[in-house]
Structure 1
Amino acid sequence: MTTERDWITTPLTEELLRGALELERTAHGILPHRLPARARAQSADPQLAMAESQPSGVRLAFRTRATAVELDTLPTKRSYVNVPPRPDGVYELLVDGNPAGRASVKGGNTLTIDMSAGTAQVQPGAAGTLAFTGLPERVKDVEIWLPHNETTELIALRTDAPVEPAPDPGRKVWLHHGSSISHGSDAAGPTTTWPALAASLGGVELINLGLAGSALLDPFTARALRDTPADLISVKIGINIVNADLMRLRAFGPAVHGFLDTIREGHPTTPLLVVSPIWCPIHEDTPGPCAPDFSRISEGLMRFTAAGDPAERASGKLTLGVIRDELARIVAQRADEDPHMRYLDGRELYGEDDFAELPLPDQLHPDAAGHRRIGERFAERAFAPGGPFSADRAGQPGRA
């Protein structure tokens, strides 16, 4: 460990950060956002505010000879009433693209959520310091991936050698939008959410707009996708709309068309992959809303259940099966005028047989092994030769 006089403090600027759409200056430092201020101003939903401020896919990226790195942050940790404590968020260090360390920051603010009452309270806390030492004494590219599930204000970056922004890697940029599964719920860490794994396997730069509980076809999210430079785009649609019991079939189809139309305003010929939900038994044939199931909370198990009535499908209530059929129909309908759009059935990423082998622990989200399987399968279907994101398939219509 270096002495105090050896430290160099480098200002935290957008040149050192990847994966965020905007940086907000706060009283403590900077807060990375995954939706721009204009989008945030159009929703008062606290779930969306929490989700977009959790920096899934956001990482510091710099080049240095430093052997020691310190990062001061102020995390905001979640606590749920009557639910076992959540582990601290994980920061992951990559050196020249290879895993080189994991750590957490203690303390910070605490957001206490009561799902039964629908309330949330914030208890202020102190900032903490993350330290990585013993790094190789040579010029190297360093990435620090921020916790995918913990709002993180960045306060100060210190090293024992000068830092400069990492050079542009020259890779294609993949912009992805989806639900809590895309956000990374229950993944082991920020580099092992399924989109981060797929991006690594596909050799692309990830911008992850997976927003837990908030993939709801919001127009402001579509505009954020429209306005973000990208070479490849995917949108995973469906599970949150069922969870929230947000709309009926009559509204869903036009909303999907409108969402895709808005993206196409900014990316008229960019490969665009529409992905339907993975297998989730509670909502395959039963509409939402989704509700917490506290029946096994004494065992430390938080689960979810479907509170809708299957008979309500006749009146247009949505299930995952209905949504898959509608998404496949919409993409097929648009195929003649949009040859760069594809459809991928989410059950190809995680299906009924996968559930038997790797069940969803809370009936809604995959665990770390599930994220790995989904990420590997997405890479196989999207980035491999012949896939919708591969160079040899550019402009060829069809299914993924």
Structure 2
Amino acid sequence: MKDQPASAPGPSDGTAATLTTPLSAHLLRGALDLERTAHGLLPHRLPAWARAQYADGQLAMAQAQPSGVRLVFRTRATVIELDALRTKMAYVGAPARPDGVYDLLVDGRLAGQAGVSGGNVRTVDMTTGSVETRPGPVGTVRFAGLPDRPKDIEIWLPYNELTELVALRTDAPVGPVPQGGRRVWLHHGSSVSHGSDAASPSTTWPALAAALGGVDLVNLGFGGSALLDPFVARAMRDTPADLVSVKFGINLVNHDLMRLRAFTPAVHGFLDTIREGHPTAPLLVVSSILCPLHEDTPGPTVPDFGSLAEGRLRFRAAGDPAERAAGKLTLGVIREELARIVEQRSAEDPHLHYLDGRELYGEADSAELPLPDQLHPDAATHHRMGTRFADRAFGPTGPFTP
């Protein structure tokens, strides 16, 4: 059964989309790998060799959720249909997660939004860690009433749903949009960069900043998984890019992953690896946005089961502030050390820069737009962060200024 767009760019006129275009890498941007599945193509944001180096379920899920991945093509079609099989996440006892959204951009402007029905549902019980998957059918996203003229189309895939691309149909031929002409920005970060609670895939803060900066985004924001993994650094090293940024902090505290003694050399190693592939590209190190939960209290971060019983998903810090003396990491400790590392390295690396994440979301913002679950920003905050990042990175004196 075909879905009607949630917000169509024009009335459906009954025009049939009878031309099928094979889905392949030349129509996709933002993915580092494509996996052939029984249904079609599954975009991955890490290459297969990197995924094989550590079989972590959270990272496997996050990197396969196509944040920043989009179909890009040129056509004069007035109707576009995309068959896709989604895998949606659900959590026992928590409110239902919002359905993924497909954003349609015509010549760079948002022209429609739609969702897809059916698909798989992967349910996680946070009290036991068990995971159950219920299979479902392929669905269809349909956009109709598009202007009958040559135009560049972008279909941004949902940042919060695994998406297997099954078929692309139109009522006019499709061709690739030539690469080049715009700089490529390669970014790595946590769930905040992944998209967290943004309204749609083209309105995550990195997507908004990329649009304002006039660059092509490759988003390696992985929910729960910005952990200084060496294989991520090597993937970034090997990915063509003109501009590079890394955003570290909150996930290291969430997992209570390492102490300061391990953190400092791990950051140096990560930056060293990136520099092997991008020796002179502007490289921006960004610390976490303000998160009152962990500014001075170490992790780990755990679900607040009291709020879960009330139908709300919130988190709490399970660490003890006194443990900072033993080298436990807080956001304050990480920010201070990241700033020191960048200052030290910039004496020999003039293209290395630092941005305090509280310039994107700080104390005044927290009072006005508090993090709904104590960790993740809402849609309005994504807009604010994207605008501020664009101003500081792509503005007249920013490190990404041409």
The TM-score with structure 1 as length reference comes to 0.96
Out of 183, 188, 191, the residue aligned to residue 180 of structure 1 is 191
Which residue pairs with 1:73 in the alignment? 84
Out of 332, 348, 366, the residue aligned to residue 359 of structure 2 is 348
Out of 213, 216, 231, the residue aligned to residue 224 of structure 2 is 213
Which residue pairs with 2:214 in the alignment? 203
Out of 160, 163, 166, the residue aligned to residue 174 of structure 2 is 163
SS class of match (1:161): coil
| Structure 1 runs, 4 residues or longer, greater than 4 Å off | 1-4
Q: Distance in 2 between matches of 1:52 and 1:120?
A: 18
Amino acid at match of 2:39: H
Which residue pairs with 2:4 in the alignment? none
Out of 296, 299, 302, the residue aligned to residue 307 of structure 2 is 296
Do residues 228 (structure 1) and 249 (structure 2) align?
Answer: no
Which residue pairs with 1:330 in the alignment? 341
Q: Distance in 1 between matches of 2:305 and 2:102?
A: 30
Which residue pairs with 1:35 in the alignment? 46
Do residues 262 (structure 1) and 273 (structure 2) align?
Answer: yes
Do residues 246 (structure 1) and 290 (structure 2) align?
Answer: no
Which residue pairs with 1:9 in the alignment? 20
The Cα shift of 1:119 comes to 1.8
Out of 119, 125, 138, the residue aligned to residue 114 of structure 1 is 125
Which residue pairs with 2:9 in the alignment? none
Amino acid at match of 2:185: W
SS class of match (1:337): coil
Out of 272, 288, 307, the residue aligned to residue 277 of structure 1 is 288
Amino acid at match of 2:148: E
The Cα shift of 1:300 comes to 3.3
Which residue pairs with 1:380 in the alignment? 391
Amino acid at match of 2:313: M
Q: Distance in 2 between matches of 1:204 and 1:87?
A: 28
Q: Distance in 2 between matches of 1:128 and 1:352?
A: 43
Asked if 2 retains the 8 angstrom alpha-carbon contact of 1:71 and 1:156, the reply is: yes
Asked if 2 retains the 8 angstrom alpha-carbon contact of 1:2 and 1:160, the reply is: no
Q: Distance in 2 between matches of 1:168 and 1:23?
A: 18
SS class of match (1:301): coil
Which residue pairs with 1:20 in the alignment? 31
The Cα shift of 1:134 comes to 0.3
Asked if 1 retains the 8 angstrom alpha-carbon contact of 2:73 and 2:174, the reply is: yes
The Cα shift of 1:168 comes to 2.8
Asked if 1 retains the 8 angstrom alpha-carbon contact of 2:15 and 2:171, the reply is: no
Amino acid at match of 2:154: E
Asked if 1 retains the 8 angstrom alpha-carbon contact of 2:191 and 2:221, the reply is: yes
Out of 202, 219, 226, the residue aligned to residue 191 of structure 1 is 202
Amino acid at match of 1:227: D
Amino acid at match of 1:43: Y
The Cα shift of 1:299 comes to 4.5
The Cα shift of 1:2 comes to 4.9
Q: Distance in 2 between matches of 1:310 and 1:186?
A: 28
Asked if 2 retains the 8 angstrom alpha-carbon contact of 1:23 and 1:33, the reply is: yes
| Percent of aligned positions that are identical | 73
- 1:99-155 deviation digits (Å, cap 9, x = unpaired): 111111011011111111112121211110110000000111111000011000000
Q: Distance in 2 between matches of 1:168 and 1:379?
A: 22
Asked if 1 retains the 8 angstrom alpha-carbon contact of 2:93 and 2:311, the reply is: no
Amino acid at match of 1:318: L
Asked if 1 retains the 8 angstrom alpha-carbon contact of 2:117 and 2:139, the reply is: yes
- 1:223-254 deviation digits (Å, cap 9, x = unpaired): 01000000000000111000000000000000
Amino acid at match of 2:256: D
Where do 5+ consecutive residues of structure 2 fail to align?
A: 1-12
The Cα shift of 1:3 comes to 5.9
SS class of match (1:295): helix
Asked if 2 retains the 8 angstrom alpha-carbon contact of 1:2 and 1:68, the reply is: no
The Cα shift of 1:169 comes to 5.4
Which residue pairs with 2:8 in the alignment? none
SS class of match (2:306): coil
Which residue pairs with 1:64 in the alignment? 75
Amino acid at match of 1:269: T
Asked if 2 retains the 8 angstrom alpha-carbon contact of 1:291 and 1:306, the reply is: yes
Asked if 2 retains the 8 angstrom alpha-carbon contact of 1:17 and 1:60, the reply is: yes
Asked if 2 retains the 8 angstrom alpha-carbon contact of 1:288 and 1:306, the reply is: yes
Where do 5+ consecutive residues of structure 1 fail to align?
A: 392-400
The CA RMSD measured in Å over matched residues stands at 1.0
Which range moves more in the overlay, 299-308 or 253-262? 299-308
